[in-house]
Homo-oligomer: A and B are copies of this chain.
Amino acid sequence: MSQDPKLQPRYSGIPTFMRTPFAPELTDLDVALIGVPFDGGVTNRTGTRHGPREVRNQSSLMRTVNQATGVAPFELVRVGDAGDALPESPFELVRAHADIEAFFDRIRAAGVLPISAGGDHSISLPILRALAKDRGPLALVHFDAHCDTGDFYLGSRFHHGSPFKVAAEEGLIDPHRTIQIGIRGSLTDKDIWRFSHDSGMRVIYIEEFYRLGLDGVMAEIQRVVGDSPVYVTFDVDGLDPAYAPGTGTPEIGGFTTFEAQQMIRSLGNLDIVGADVVEVSPPFDPSGVTALVGATMMFELLCVCAQSLTRRARD
């Protein structure tokens, strides 16, 4: 299939991510676009298991050049759709996470940079478990309405509200090189995100976000991450629900897609080892706009990953 909508209309063909070649064997790939259709870690509204398919569908609207930055990712690096990281059993959270980790171990072993579409946010944990084996503990740039550093919930330590607490405790990420952006919403208890603060993460609440301004926030990201290898995770509920209604835990009062795009574009000079876009929930997205937002964020991430890989190759 051609990626060029001038030759083949976007509504046609079988939707791989951004119409890239289907490459489950990872042959000749620098970057793998991966679906992780798992929502067994959700504490409220499910549906993100359908995220990868709808993000793939809407990603046909992506083209090949980033107009704002001039980056042409498909010229810089070899990109393919590596298929879905599927748990053998979707019924048991812990086993499912182990299966996902094994999939990403294979990605890592092949020297391929993964950009994933979730799935609920709990999938970042097994991805980090795989990626940190080489270069961990990693820095983390985390866009979200929630710190996701919570504790036991409905009887489980593992769920979509806790991956980064567990990741820090397991030494996968370095809390002092972790920045969380867009945090807001009411709290179950005052100390629910206490781990973020106690462990040294930099938390930018939405009020501080607007006080600092975009330039200030982008400077903070650079300061916190520095030259560490870094993972970027983008939860679409960091965006205001006006921009991304199709998600399981919407919180009003969030940032805009324009602001998100600017922030992601500022990451091109970092040493990125992987990225994900999570919590797109098609059953709650009647107009499909959230899947489009998810696909566009994947494209923005692809552009900075391509920059990062190119520079790394050059150095």
Binding site for B on A (CB under 8 A): 1, 4-16, 22, 35, 37, 39-41, 43-47, 49-50, 52-53, 56-57, 61-68, 70, 72, 81, 83-84, 86, 88-95, 152-156, 158-159, 183-190, 205-207, 210, 240-243, 245-246, 249-250, 252-254, 256-258, 261-262, 283-289, 292-293, 296, 299
Contact A47/B44 with A63-B185, A84-B13, A152-B6 known, Cβ cut-off 8 Å: no
| CB <8 Å contact, A155 and B37 | no
Q: Which residues of B contact A189 (CB under 8 A)?
A: 4, 64-65
Check A86–B12 contact: CB distance below 8 A: yes
Residues A186 and B67 in contact, CB atoms below 8 Å apart: yes
Contacts of A287 in B (CB 8 A): 245-246, 284-287
In the complex this chain forms, how many copies of it are found? 6
Cα distance A5–B88 when bound, in Å?
11
CA A65 to CA B192, docked complex, whole Å: 10
Taking A10-B43, A67-B187, A286-B286 as known contacts, 9 extra A-B pairs with beta carbons closer than 8 A to each other, sorted by chain A number, are A5-B43, A9-B43, A9-B49, A11-B45, A47-B283, A207-B262, A242-B242, A252-B261, A283-B283
Residues in B neighbouring A94, C-beta threshold 8 A: 92
Chain B residues near A83: list those with CB within 8 A: 1, 13-14
- Are the C-beta atoms of A57 and B64 separated by less than 8 Å? no
10 contacts between A and B (CB under 8 A): A6-B154, A14-B15, A45-B283, A64-B187, A68-B184, A91-B158, A91-B159, A92-B94, A241-B289, A242-B256
| In contact, A187 and B243 (Cβ under 8 angstroms) | no
Q: Which 9 A-B pairs have the closest CB atoms?
A: A283-B283, A89-B155, A65-B187, A63-B186, A252-B257, A46-B46, A253-B258, A91-B93, A242-B242
The answer to whether B14 and A81 have CB atoms under 8 Å apart is yes
Contact present for B12 and A37 (CB under 8 Å): yes
Distance A156 CA – B8 CA, assembled complex (angstroms):
13
Residue of B nearest to A259 (CB): B253
Say yes or no: A240-B243 contact (C-beta < 8 A), given A63-B186, A65-B187, A188-B5.
yes
B257 and A253 contact, CB distance less than 8 A: yes
